[in-house]
Structure 1
Amino acid sequence: MKSALSAIKTLILALVSIAIVIGGIVVIKAPTSIVLMTGGAAIIFLSLIWGIKWQDIERDIMKNIGHMLLPILILLAVGMLIGSWILSGTIPFFVYYGLVLLKPSIFLFAVCLICAIMTLMCGSSWATIGTIGVAFMGISMGLEVPLYYTAAAVVVGAIFGDKVSPLSDSTILASSIVDVDLMEHVKHLLYTTVPGLVISLVLYLVIGLQFKNVTANSETISIIQNTILDHFNLNPIVLIPPIAVLILISRGLPALPVYGIGIFLGCLIAGFLQKQSLLDIAGALNSGYTLDTGVDIVNQIVQQGGLSSMLSTVAILIAAAVFGAPLQTAGVVDVLLDKIKQFATTSRSMMTSCLTMHAGLFTIIGSYYVTYSVLGPMLKPLYTDYGMHRKNLSRTLEDTGTALAPMIPWSVTGAFIASTLQVPTGQFILFAPMVYLGIVFALIYIYTGFGIAKINIDSSEKSAKQEVS
């Protein structure tokens, strides 16, 4: 769709949207959903004044919300999953025995690896962060390891596993949207993902050195463990829900019904093993675990989950859909694409422009479900024209989408992480280098040619713009 507006007007819309997001969130520190709604209203107002039809804007708003529907349902399911798994004793079980087995010096390293393996198996960073990630935050309190370190390790492991898991919805979307074989896409992602993971793991070992001679407060650990034992039956039966979820997802079943099974099993165990009433179970699904254990630190660990804990994040998703729609309707994306075609004289400049464009659009909209679907098909022909394999594009989408998401507080994933782990983005993101190093390595590869896949096309089909070497 070509823009109905001039290049100047689309530029003004882009600048207004960026100014409102930065001004509202960074300067004023207003709630993210309100800032996005305000930005969307301002862009819609300008678009209507300049002749864009409301029906077209409404159509794109509904389309964007349609893209958000599955993540919203998964988000709500994860909220109920956390509530039911706390009530069933599953997450308290991990906290209790994590305090027994994990030592402060290797804790962050272990957290990152365990989260990576779990997400690789289940394909969902949200499921990992919302279950075992929450448990690790509780263990972190007991070991007196700063929560921002632990949040960073959880995020790095979960995002790495999400990017390279063939079961991940974002990985499947990024490859399918540009017609690339899924396993080719996963292998190509290793170039930008593995170096960042290795650097992160080394960082966690170095950080762990400061805890080498530190003995965890045995009194605090004892209080946590005794309080958990007083309120939960830690029979190994409580491990059935996570084991079932991992097995079912590893067999290729869709995430949403599998989470439903995980919730059902959690509720079943909460009723029969933990002797919780149906009203207690319903309350945990809606509002999370709310019982007072009498110990503040344990309350911080277990008083989480439920549908209500995710409603603010759902509001952000809907606001992001409203915010991004008029930018699409007004043709801002199309104008930017035309600029790439106009100024990209080599494959290097073309790939750099695409990387920058997607990173910028994702930063504004905050949902890779939207940006992958919008930019993927539009950018795909450019790579073929310049003799570049499309798996370079699918990797770029993930490097500036899936991996970048935890850095953007108003993004779908960023908002989920901050609300679930209860650590603001700005506190932990510096200690999660894999999240931003993927872009650094991507740029290095673009300008060195290492890790860049090309295709063989007839020279007569190549334009003068193409770079052979």
Structure 2
Amino acid sequence: MNETITPNKWALLPLLVFLVLFIGAGIFYDDFYKFPILIAALIALIFAAVTTKGGINQTVERIAAGAGNPDIMIMVFIFLLAGAFSGTADAIGAIEATVNASLTFLPPSLLMSGLFIIAAFISMAMGTSTGTIAALAPIALGIHEATGVNVAIAAAAVVGGAMFGDNLSFISDTTIAAVRTQKTNMRDKFRTNFLIVLPAAILTIIILAFVSSTGNVVEAKAFEFYKLIPYLSVIILALFGVNVILVLIGGTVLTGIIGMIDGSFGLSGFVLSMSDGLMGMAEISILTLLMGGLVSLITFNGGIAYLKETLTQKISQRRGAEFSMAALVSATNLATANNTISILVAGPLAAEIADTYDIDRKKSASILDIFSCGIQGIIPYGAQLLIAAELTKTASPELIPYLFYPFLLFVCGSLAILFGFPRRKTSDARQKNVS
């Protein structure tokens, strides 16, 4: 039986507690490691549990259901597999070889732009930003160590490219969710979306070419080409549309075979390097489970319902209706830290708004996807920034000033709404309810 949820602004307080503890403590101490993010999440979760009506057993069950959400568990599984792949790739010297290959074939000023483009390419092929970041973040760290370029810029370049690909990929869960909730055509949504975000991508590539010139230029060291195979295999498998989990498993197995053939390690060494990689992802996996439980309580207590009610009250024209869609999916994403879930929550209401104000469904689908990916790409407690920070040995808030693409995504998305771009065709308007 479905429970009736009453909108309640106070249900969002636990999220505020988390942000104050995590961001506030980091600013106060000028060090985001002084107050562990896991403790901030745990305190916020306890606060949410205490303020939730009902017995303790029911509350714990709701937390467990949120933590065990399929989307959450898939993310955790990807994190662990990414750790195993990264650990074994590092053990055979694949990361160092890939970095030296990048230094050999790319001029220093284009290293960050190249990272962005490669991340965009892989993400579009795999349909997952987290999987892409997991594969490429170690490369970003390696480039930082070799050239001295700001590690936060390198990590942000990977995140930006991953969000670009995730936003446009035909097999991305965000794209699928946007298209299904708006009952539009995948190809039409892609064309509309691409026209809006392309300027943001081009500007990001140009900006990265300028900012990356601050690193110390060093000569590339000699490297063995065969050690590039693990990362090339990830790219090739992604291009063929292989599921990200199979991509990471395949990459890890292939890396193990190469390592045992060239003597980098034996079977026990392979297993130990996998274990080290897995353990390196323990913190982010636990954090993801805690955030899943927190979101479950916020939703049950009426926080998400409050956002939906508040952000759709005052709409008077088509432009305002489109901005309300953007605000709704953005606010929901801030509360849930999951762009797919935010689209699924905001999508049905966005479809109603689109019909009421004669908005093309391909445009409403694009708005949902663009703004959810933009928010997901900048929130320091989102999976993308957390995994990028974990693998580059930095703190997620330190990446925010260099997340050029997600911020430009907001600008381009807002301008597209403000100026009614792209101009819709008459046939589109007549067919918006046909799916």
Q: What TM-score results when the alignment is normalised by the length of structure 2?
A: 0.86
Q: What is aligned with 1:84?
A: 88
Quote how far apart the aligned CAs of 1:356 are: 1.5
Quote how far apart the aligned CAs of 1:92 are: 2.3
1:206-217 alignment, distance < 5 Å: 206-208=210-212, 216-217=217-218
- Superposed CA offset, 1:302-356 (max 9, x none): xxxx111111111121111111112221233233333444322222222222222
Find the structure with the greater CA-based Rg: 1
- Superposed CA offset, 1:122-145 (max 9, x none): 333334333344224312322222
With 120-129 and 67-76 compared, the bigger mean Cα shift is at 120-129
1:1-400 alignment, distance < 5 Å: 3-5=4-6, 7=7, 10-14=8-12, 16-29=13-26, 30-48=35-53, 55=58, 58-59=61-62, 61-63=64-66, 65-66=68-69, 67-208=71-212, 216-217=217-218, 225=221, 235-287=224-276, 306-400=277-371
Check whether the contact 2:66–2:295 (CA below 8 A) recurs between aligned residues. no
Q: How has the CA–CA distance of structure 1 residues 351 and 194 changed in structure 2, closer, same or farther, with 3 Å as cutoff? A: same
Quote how far apart the aligned CAs of 1:156 are: 2.1
Quote how far apart the aligned CAs of 1:31 are: 2.7
Check whether the contact 1:57–1:329 (CA below 8 A) recurs between aligned residues. no
- Superposed CA offset, 1:24-66 (max 9, x none): 1122343333323322332332231xx6996488357515632
Q: How has the CA–CA distance of structure 1 residues 191 and 259 changed in structure 2, closer, same or farther, with 3 Å as cutoff? A: same
Check whether the contact 2:83–2:278 (CA below 8 A) recurs between aligned residues. yes
2:42 partner amino acid: M
With 349-358 and 126-135 compared, the bigger mean Cα shift is at 126-135
With 416-425 and 369-378 compared, the bigger mean Cα shift is at 369-378
Q: What is aligned with 2:30?
A: none
1:439 aligns with 2:415: no
Please give the alpha-carbon distance, in whole angstroms, between the structure 1 residues aligned to 2:61 and 2:94: 44
With 383-392 and 434-443 compared, the bigger mean Cα shift is at 383-392
1:39 partner amino acid: A
Q: How has the CA–CA distance of structure 1 residues 44 and 236 changed in structure 2, closer, same or farther, with 3 Å as cutoff? A: same
Structure 1 counterpart SS, 2:374: coil
Please give the alpha-carbon distance, in whole angstroms, between the structure 2 residues aligned to 1:208 and 1:332: 41
Structure 1 counterpart SS, 2:242: coil
2:20 partner amino acid: G
Please give the alpha-carbon distance, in whole angstroms, between the structure 1 residues aligned to 2:322 and 2:419: 13
Check whether the contact 1:200–1:432 (CA below 8 A) recurs between aligned residues. no
Structure 1 counterpart SS, 2:377: helix
Please give the alpha-carbon distance, in whole angstroms, between the structure 1 residues aligned to 2:406 and 2:351: 24
Please give the alpha-carbon distance, in whole angstroms, between the structure 2 residues aligned to 1:55 and 1:386: 41
Q: How many residues align?
A: 420
1:256 partner amino acid: I
Check whether the contact 1:406–1:425 (CA below 8 A) recurs between aligned residues. no
Check whether the contact 1:129–1:158 (CA below 8 A) recurs between aligned residues. yes
List alignment gaps of at least 5 residues for structure 1: 288-305, 462-469
Q: How has the CA–CA distance of structure 1 residues 24 and 208 changed in structure 2, closer, same or farther, with 3 Å as cutoff? A: closer
The equivalent position to 1:417 in structure 2, one of 388, 401, 416, is: 388
Please give the alpha-carbon distance, in whole angstroms, between the structure 1 residues aligned to 2:212 and 2:196: 25
List alignment gaps of at least 5 residues for structure 2: 27-34
With 431-440 and 146-155 compared, the bigger mean Cα shift is at 146-155
Q: What TM-score results when the alignment is normalised by the length of structure 1?
A: 0.80
Q: How has the CA–CA distance of structure 1 residues 52 and 436 changed in structure 2, closer, same or farther, with 3 Å as cutoff? A: farther
- Superposed CA offset, 1:273-313 (max 9, x none): 234111111111011xxxxxxxxxxxxxxxxxx11111111
